[in-house]
């Protein structure tokens, strides 16, 4: 393929994707950037012989399709090599700013600074390099662009010489992969680490790759067998969904083999099966739990492996429901259940999270990027809190104030004395009780003005307070106060938990995960720490919890259970004339929605219950059925209370009798005579075996009801030689 053709093929693919996501003005800007880059770079190549413009387009494509950033970032990706040192005519920063605006020019300037950064000791000082990277970058889009650039480089690492490969792998492993992970770019993080392993330990990498290829068909067959019944249930329930198997990354498999000292075949979670539901926003949680119930109906679950990140998402916004079940061939497999929105957030990180929160406005991107910067600078910060707050510290109006030594400090407009204290040092903020502005005493809440000279007063007894968050302005100050309050809250919560454990021990009650979940639901808490904190401060009485946990949960009625398990149309056809608690069974058995179970052959008058099967409708069992205990224990949600409808009509039910005794002459004739003549029972079959003067027999007969069969059994017991007559199973 000719160079020009390679360039335009790549660009057309990028333009096609952008056409679905951006308006005409944005597309024109992207087109302008491409033509500008082509004019400056042409068909020139790097020293590696890679076409420079192809590299630029690949980076812009990663930014658009795999990270999900907006037009300015895509334009920056297309232009990020127009100032490359190897060009005969390099574009100037002024030229870029005039043509594409200050933001794009700023991003490219940040890229230039980062590219000039030496990273010889990055493996020893990775955290310091991360901070330096942030300081040089200015706009955090520079970091995201650099991650995209590094991914493209690593995908083409074979073009580089050995010395360059070693440097790039080290930088990637210690700097760019951790940054990608912190931003929630899990797919990119995994690929970067896989590529590092490929060049650091090629033998180990190739071993895992080859083993994955060898077992590919086996895994595919296993997945096909596993998903078939679950797919049917989801389709029958009317779900729009997709299912796919996600193999663990090569580096993760390698690390697990090394860290746990196991072979490839012993890696338990080699792959996971992902169920992705196309769900309306208001139905997301319930749909995921319904899908979970379908999986656990089919396969035995490991309750210790349930991870509910739907009720309480991870701090970086990740939402999913994970469980591990015993699939076909006795193999454990991880199941991940999520919606399309959750899946996009999981794959594309915080860019996707922003998209679902906001829209396409540039100001929204600016705000989101400001929040990302805070996240990167403070790894302890809760990501979701930041996104939801939509602060605009970086882009707000600014004021400049002076320390007692005359140092100039920049703060956002509206910042208070306390914001200033935290800007100097977090410990100074924690102990601040006020201070002086231009020589005049002021409180913590005093709002600062341009040119103020500030002195801070502190006290050893001062501690951060919750109401400080109401007047603080800067993210740094708010984050520090929250962290301090959370630390204090953790200490109190631990005391609360100890109180509960001690009380439970005295009451001989076990504090289980299920018990904690029930408590959280009752008191409407998301986190256990909130429950334990309220226990510590006396807001919740442990005795109240004991009473609550001791209460027997209300059992849903028969109608409610059935509406959860079978289509509503079928529920309407069932009989509930005795009230919703009981399914009423007609003795004429013409209702096709339920059948008598052959394992116990119930007849009119028997104490019965219904059991909703997976594919054979409702089966009616006797309460004394040998399978009843197991069904009620393992599948209580499928067990339906049922009663016979009272009726005088005489319909026949098949039942089985076991008869035994001494083998008297003519005893079989006597038995058949009683069945056919005296009682009026219809006999379907008789099987009598005699051995050493004793006999055993199985009779299958048609009777009207339980009184009818009991009458027959009493008559048979009076036959000379008959020792036992019992009602049996198939």
* Residue 383 exposed, middle or buried by CB count within 10 Å (0-12, 13-18, 19+): buried
Residues in the chain: 730
Contacts of 333 (CB under 8 A, 6+ apart): 222, 226, 271, 272, 273, 324, 325, 327
Cβ-contact 253, 222 below 8 angstroms:
no
Q: Which of 329, 331, 355 is nearest to 342 (CA)?
A: 355
Cβ-contact 451, 400 below 8 angstroms:
yes
Calculate the CA 297 to chain-centre distance: 20
Report the interhelical angle of 141-155 vs 71-79 (nearest 10°).
Answer: 50
Q: What is the pLDDT of residues 237-257, one digit of tens each?
A: 999 999 888 888 888 888 888
- For 113, the enclosing helix (H) or strand (E) is helix 102-115
What whole-number distance in Å separates Cα of residue 467 and Cα of residue 464? 9
- What's the CA angle centered on 215, arms 269 and 256, to 5 degrees? 35
Q: Which of 307, 323, 293, 388 is nearest to 350 (CA)?
A: 388
Q: What is the pLDDT of residue 678?
A: 62
Q: What is the pLDDT of residue 552?
A: 64
Contacts of 694 (CB under 8 A, 6+ apart): 660, 661, 662, 663
Q: What is the pLDDT of residue 386?
A: 36
Tokens of 353: 């999270």
Q: What is the pLDDT of residue 393?
A: 35
Strand, helix or coil at 428?
Answer: helix
What whole-number distance in Å separates Cα of residue 722 and Cα of residue 518? 57
Q: What is the pLDDT of residue 379?
A: 45
Tokens of 215: 């077992």
Q: Which of 416, 448, 447 is nearest to 432 (CA)?
A: 416
What whole-number distance in Å separates Cα of residue 335 and Cα of residue 321? 8
What whole-number distance in Å separates Cα of residue 466 and Cα of residue 450? 28
Cβ-contact 342, 350 below 8 angstroms:
no
pLDDT along the chain (730 residues), means of 10: 81 84 85 91 88 92 85 90 80 89 86 67 53 56 86 92 88 82 79 92 90 84 88 91 85 86 78 89 90 90 82 70 86 89 74 51 48 51 36 46 77 89 90 91 89 88 88 88 83 88 85 82 83 86 81 71 79 76 73 78 88 85 88 84 80 86 84 75 84 87 86 87 81
Report the interhelical angle of 71-79 vs 93-100 (nearest 10°).
Answer: 150
87-91: long-range pairs with CB below 8 Å, 24+: 87/40, 87/41, 87/44, 89/40, 90/40, 91/36, 91/40
- For 172, the enclosing helix (H) or strand (E) is none
What whole-number distance in Å separates Cα of residue 709 and Cα of residue 140? 83
Tokens of 79: 């232009």
Q: What is the pLDDT of residue 134?
A: 56
* Residue 481 exposed, middle or buried by CB count within 10 Å (0-12, 13-18, 19+): buried
Report the interhelical angle of 417-424 vs 475-507 (nearest 10°).
Answer: 90
What whole-number distance in Å separates Cα of residue 264 and Cα of residue 254? 8
What whole-number distance in Å separates Cα of residue 477 and Cα of residue 472? 7
Q: What DSSP designation does 330 have?
A: G
Cβ-contact 256, 266 below 8 angstroms:
no
- For 337, the enclosing helix (H) or strand (E) is strand 332-339
- For 618, the enclosing helix (H) or strand (E) is strand 618-622
Q: Which of 522, 521, 424 is nearest to 474 (CA)?
A: 424
Reported as half-sphere exposure (CB side, CA atoms, 13 A), residue 449 has a value of 4
3-state secondary structure 439-496: CEEECCCCECCCCCEEEEEECCCCCCCHHHHHCCCCHHHHHHHHHHHHHHHHHHHHHH
Tokens of 517: 């979940």
Q: What is the pLDDT of residues 375-414, one digit of tens each?
A: 555 544 443 343 333 223 333 356 777 888 777 777 888 8
């Amino acid at each position: 393929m000719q160079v020009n053709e390679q360039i335009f093929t790549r660009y057309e693919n990028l333009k096609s994707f952008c056409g679905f996501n951006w308006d005409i003005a944005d597309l024109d800007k992207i087109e302008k950037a491409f033509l500008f880059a082509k004019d400056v770079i042409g068909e020139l190549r790097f020293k590696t012989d890679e076409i420079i413009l192809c590299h630029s387009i690949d980076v812009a494509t990663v930014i658009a399709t795999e990270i999900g950033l907006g037009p300015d970032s895509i334009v920056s990706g297309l232009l990020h090599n127009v100032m490359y040192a190897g060009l005969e005519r390099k574009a100037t920063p002024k030229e870029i700013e005039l043509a594409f605006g200050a933001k794009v020019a700023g991003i490219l300037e940040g890229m230039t600074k980062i590219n000039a950064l030496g990273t010889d000791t990055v493996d020893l000082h990775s955290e310091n390099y991360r901070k330096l990277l942030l300081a040089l970058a200015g706009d955090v889009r520079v970091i995201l662009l650099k991650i995209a650039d590094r991914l493209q480089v690593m995908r083409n690492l074979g073009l580089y010489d050995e010395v360059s490969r070693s440097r790039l792998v080290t930088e990637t492993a210690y700097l760019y992969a951790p940054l990608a992970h912190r931003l929630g770019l899990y797919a990119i993080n995994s690929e970067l680490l896989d590529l590092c392993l490929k060049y650091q330990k090629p033998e180990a990498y190739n071993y895992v790759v080859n083993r994955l290829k060898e077992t590919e068909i086996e895994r595919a067959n296993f997945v096909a067998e596993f998903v078939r019944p679950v797919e049917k249930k989801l389709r029958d329930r009317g779900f729009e969904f997709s299912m796919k198997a996600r193999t663990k990354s090569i580096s993760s498999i390698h690390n697990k083999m090394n860290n746990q000292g196991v072979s490839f075949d012993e890696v338990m979670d080699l792959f996971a099966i992902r169920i992705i539901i196309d769900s309306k926003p208001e139905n997301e949680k319930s749909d995921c739990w319904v899908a979970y119930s379908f999986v656990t109906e089919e396969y035995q679950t490991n309750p210790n492996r349930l991870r509910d990140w739907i009720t309480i998402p991870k701090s970086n916004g990740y939402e999913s429901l994970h469980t591990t079940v015993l699939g076909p061939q006795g193999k454990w497999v991880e199941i991940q259940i999520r919606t399309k929105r959750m899946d996009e957030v999981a794959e594309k990180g915080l860019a996707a999270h922003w998209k679902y929160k906001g829209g396409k406005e540039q100001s929204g991107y600016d705000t989101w990027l400001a929040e990302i910067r805070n996240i990167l600078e403070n790894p302890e910060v809760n990501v979701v809190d930041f996104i939801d707050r939509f602060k605009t510290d970086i882009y707000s109006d600014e004021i400049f104030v002076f320390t007692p030594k005359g140092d100039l400090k920049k703060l956002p407009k509206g910042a208070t004395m306390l914001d200033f204290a935290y800007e100097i040092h977090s410990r100074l903020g924690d102990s601040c009780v006020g201070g002086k502005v231009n020589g005049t005493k002021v409180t913590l809440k005093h709002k600062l003005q341009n040119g103020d000279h500030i002195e801070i007063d502190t006290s050893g007894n001062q501690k951060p307070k919750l109401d400080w968050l109401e007047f603080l302005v800067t993210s740094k100050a708010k984050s520090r106060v929250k962290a301090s309050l959370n630390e204090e809250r953790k200490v109190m919560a631990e005391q609360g938990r100890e109180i509960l454990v001690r009380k439970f021990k005295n009451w001989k009650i076990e504090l289980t995960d299920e018990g904690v979940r029930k408590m959280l639901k009752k008191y409407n808490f998301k986190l256990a720490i909130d429950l334990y904190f309220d226990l510590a401060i006396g807001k919740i009485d442990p005795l109240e919890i004991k009473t609550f946990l001791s209460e027997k949960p209300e059992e849903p009625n028969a109608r409610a259970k059935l509406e959860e398990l079978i289509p509503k149309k079928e529920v309407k056809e069932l009989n509930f004339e005795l009230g919703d608690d009981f399914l009423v069974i007609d003795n004429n058995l013409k209702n096709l929605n339920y059948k008598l179970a052959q394992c116990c052959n119930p007849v009119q008058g028997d104490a019965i219950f219904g059991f909703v099967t997976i594919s054979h409708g409702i089966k009616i069992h006797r309460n004394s059925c040998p399978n009843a205990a197991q069904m009620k224990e393992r599948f209580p949600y499928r067990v339906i209370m049922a009663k016979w409808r009272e009726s005088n009509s005489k319909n026949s039910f098949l039942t089985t009798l076991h008869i035994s005794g001494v083998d008297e002459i003519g005893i079989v004739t006597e038995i058949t005579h009683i069945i056919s003549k005296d009682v009026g029972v219809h006999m379907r079959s008789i099987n009598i075996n005699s051995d050493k003067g004793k006999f055993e027999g199985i009779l299958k007969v048609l009777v009207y009801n339980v009184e009818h069969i009991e009458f027959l059994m009493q008559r048979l017991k009076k036959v000379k030689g008959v020792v036992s007559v019992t009602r049996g199973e198939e």
